[in-house]
Amino acid sequence: MNITICFDKLDPAPWVQGLQKAFPEATVSAWAPGAPPAQHAIVWAPPQQFIDEQPGLQTLFNIGAGVDALMQLKLPPALKVVRLDDAGMSVQMAEYVCHAVIRHFREFDGYDADTQLAKWSYRKPRSRADFAVGVMGLGVLGERVAKALQVFDFPVNGFSRSPKDLPGIRCFSGAQSLPEFLQATRVLVNLMPLTAETENILNKDTLSQLQKGGYVINVARGKHLVDEDLLAFIDSGHLAGATLDVFRTEPLPADHVFWQHPKITVTPHTSARTLREESIAQIVGKMQALQRGEPIRGVVDHQRGY
């Protein structure tokens, strides 16, 4: 079995070494133009040339949870695209989102500003019942985030394309229920996959339906958010602010208004990073399952885009 690794702006060497050690009966190599054919590939943002030069590929393993970049390529219909189920990302995402929610709810940003002025101050405690958190996207990461938020006694809403039943979480599904979900939400966490249907979903219409004083946490993709609409609602006072980890252009340009806006927290797409050892173990397990003719999790529906 030949396995090739094709990464954009990432060093493939540690992955080649790790995968070869975990799967010694396979031949593992980093891809270069003109490389011999492979049956399986592990990729991150590969060029179209890679797909075109590897017509014998059976499976394409993506090292991130999102596959929107792959879906922009011309892929053979029979090519199986597989995303990571978790590989250590869900607990990181839960940490990040809980931190962002609690920082906003407890007004720690305000305390930070006061400490810079050597000002000793208190703020009136706020009620968790008034801060319903809506998790938009209930895949592996979204479900872990929703469950983590429950630990802190926030009311939690969940929205997904297909129906979900999660104990203690008020679940909404389908486009027809999106307005009700938004109107029941004060802190919105976006974990939707990026598809043609979800691009620009955080826009003037949807943001206006959040409860007054709402807060936005975007940890999915930058193209979900219409930047100008978010800024308008924050500046008007309808929204209290935002924590943003993903952007339309990355790295975020130094002159972008998000950097300096006092009500926006920016982080450099670091909410959930791929952990190499966990990812290799999961990918090898799936390759071995395919060898045995067994079904695997994480297979992408080409029509839906996730």
Question: 304 catalytic, yes or no?
Answer: no
pLDDT digits (tens, 9 = 90+) for 61-83: 999 888 999 999 999 999 999 99
For the residues 265-278, what does the mean pLDDT come to? Answer: 96
Q: Give CA–CA dist 30/128, Å, rounded.
A: 50
Residues 128, 154: contact at Cβ < 8 Å?
yes
Quote the pLDDT of residue 116.
95
Write the CB contacts of 288 (distance below 8 Å, at least 6 apart in sequence): 23
pLDDT for residue 258 is more than 90: yes
The catalytic residue among 269, 276, 292, 304 is 269
Quote the pLDDT of residue 158.
98
For the residues 234-240, what does the mean pLDDT come to? Answer: 98
Instruction: Work out the percent of the chain whose per-residue pLDDT is above 90.
Output: 96
Based on its alpha-carbon atoms, the radius of gyration of the chain, rounded to whole angstroms, reads: 21
For the residues 141-155, what does the mean pLDDT come to? Answer: 98
pLDDT digits (tens, 9 = 90+) for 97-127: 999 999 999 999 999 999 999 999 999 999 9
Quote the pLDDT of residue 85.
86
For the residues 147-174, what does the mean pLDDT come to? Answer: 98
For the residues 9-22, what does the mean pLDDT come to? Answer: 96
Residues 158, 171: contact at Cβ < 8 Å?
yes
Cα dist. 138→95, 163, 261, 293 in Å? 16, 10, 30, 29
Q: Give CA–CA dist 270/114, Å, rounded.
A: 27
For the residues 230-240, what does the mean pLDDT come to? Answer: 98
Question: 221 catalytic, yes or no?
Answer: yes
Cα dist. 188→131, 134, 215 in Å? 10, 5, 6
Quote the pLDDT of residue 66.
87
Q: What average pLDDT does the chain have?
A: 97
Quote the pLDDT of residue 114.
96
The catalytic residue among 40, 104, 161, 221 is 221
